[in-house]
């Protein structure tokens, strides 16, 4: 799961971030945000909560970066932090210092119709994935939202590649039953 995008590997970025390089930290956040979000969403079943956990997890990861013994496997290490933070979310909520995401409301208010539609779709999807098991949610989101391969998902979750495939198959089947082919087609056009 070693990421090399734009010629800079995760390990190189991690080395720079350890020295306090802001742009490298931002690059790591941009590169892995969606995977972190997928993992958090799989556990919390709520997009806004997942965003809060991601914010918290990236900052915690930075604070503990010296504990990342193998920077080549930064993603796996980061995902474990996201999982732990998501699971502790309810306890952590009272002390979190996340900035209120006011800019979200500002951006959304520019296109109210489209935002309402998207919000409806989000709600339907979140409700449907809530019917899956946690493993199924994580597998299907990492695969279909983030684009990870079965091997990468298996490594991250401690599963065999075959088991990851089976979870993905079962998750997709259940989502289609819950949402209906029509609904999914509608989303893909949206």
Which residues on neighbouring strands pair with residue 127, listed in sequence order?
none
Q: Give φ, ψ of 155 to 5 degrees.
A: -60, -45
Give every CB contact of residue 149 below 8 A, 6+ residues apart in sequence: 143
Q: Which of residues 103-122 bind another protein (CB under 8 A)?
A: 103-104, 107-108, 118, 121-122
Q: Does 30 help bind another protein (rule: CB under 8 A)?
A: yes
Q: Any bridge partners for residue 9, and if so which? A: 4
Shortest gap between Cβ of 76 and another protein (angstroms)? 20
| Residue 70 dihedral angles phi and psi, to the nearest 5° | -120, 90
Burial classification of residue 94, based on how many CB atoms lie within 10 Å of its CB (0-12 exposed, 13-18 middle, 19 or more buried): exposed
Give the binding-site size for another protein (rule: CB under 8 A). Answer: 50
Closer residue to another protein (CB): 84 or 187? 187
87 near another protein (CB under 8 A): no
List the one residue from 2, 21, 130, 133 that touches another protein (CB under 8 A). 21
Residue span binding another protein (CB under 8 A) among the ranges 2-10, 14-22, 78-86, 153-161: 14-22
Which range in 6-14, 56-64, 72-80, 152-160 contacts another protein by CB under 8 A?
Answer: 56-64
x/- contact string, 124-163, with another protein (CB under 8 A)?
-xx-------------xx-xxx------------------
d(CA 172, CA 2): 27
Task: Return the bridge partners of 5, or none.
Answer: 8
- Binding of another protein at residue 77 (CB under 8 A)? no
Residues that bind another protein (CB under 8 A): 17-22, 25-26, 29-30, 33-34, 37, 41, 47, 51, 54-55, 58-59, 62-63, 97-99, 101, 103-104, 107-108, 118, 121-122, 125-126, 140-141, 143-145, 165, 168-169, 172, 175-176, 184, 187-188, 190
């Amino acid at each position: 799961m070693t990421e090399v995008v734009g010629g800079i590997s995760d390990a190189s970025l991690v080395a720079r971030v350890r020295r306090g390089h802001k742009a490298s930290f931002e690059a790591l956040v941009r590169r892995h945000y969606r995977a972190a979000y997928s993992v958090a969403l799989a556990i919390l079943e709520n997009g806004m909560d997942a965003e809060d956990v991601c914010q918290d997890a990236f900052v915690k990861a930075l604070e503990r970066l010296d504990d990342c013994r193998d920077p080549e496997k930064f993603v796996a290490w980061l995902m474990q932090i996201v999982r732990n933070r998501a699971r502790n979310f309810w306890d952590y909520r009272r002390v979190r210092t996340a900035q209120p995401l006011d800019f979200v409301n500002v951006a959304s208010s520019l296109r109210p119709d489209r935002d309402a539609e998207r919000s409806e779709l989000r709600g339907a999807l979140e409700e449907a994935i809530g019917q899956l098991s946690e493993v199924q949610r994580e597998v299907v989101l990492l695969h279909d939202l983030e684009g990870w391969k079965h091997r990468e998902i298996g490594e991250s979750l401690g599963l065999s590649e075959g088991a990851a495939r089976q979870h993905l198959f079962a998750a997709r089947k259940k989502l289609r039953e819950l949402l209906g082919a029509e609904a999914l087609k509608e989303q893909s056009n949206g």
